[in-house]
Amino acid sequence: MPVKVNGNGVEYVKGETITELLERMNYNFPLVVVKVNGKVIPHERFPMAKVPDRSKVEVIHLISGG
C-alpha cells in the first residue's frame, strides 16, 4: 500500500528509513521537521526510524528569515 507524503501517494518501500525516503523524494532541505502518523520524529532518529506501511508522513521545511 502507498504511504502519503505531504498528501501525495508514494510507493511504500519495506524497511525504508526517513532519511532514505527524504532522499528518494529529493527533500534535501537542511532544516526539516518530519511527522509520521502525527508523531514528530527527532532529526537524529531519521537514519534509524522506519516508515511503516500506510503511513501519513508530513515533511515541513523550515525557513529562517529576518
41-50-39 Cα angle (round to 5): 30
Q: Tell whether 66 is covered by a domain.
A: no
Segment 41-64, tens digit of pLDDT: 999 999 999 999 999 999 999 887
Total domains, the chain: 1
Give the residue among 40, 31, 6 at the shortest CA–CA distance from 21: 6
Q: Tell whether 16 is covered by a domain.
A: yes
Q: Tell whether 51 is covered by a domain.
A: yes
b/e code 7-24 from CB counts within 10 Å (16+ = b)? eeebeeeeebbbeebbee
Segment 8-36, tens digit of pLDDT: 999 999 999 999 999 999 998 889 999 99
Q: Tell whether 30 is covered by a domain.
A: yes
Q: Tell whether 17 is covered by a domain.
A: yes
Q: Tell whether 36 is covered by a domain.
A: yes
Domain around 32:
3-61
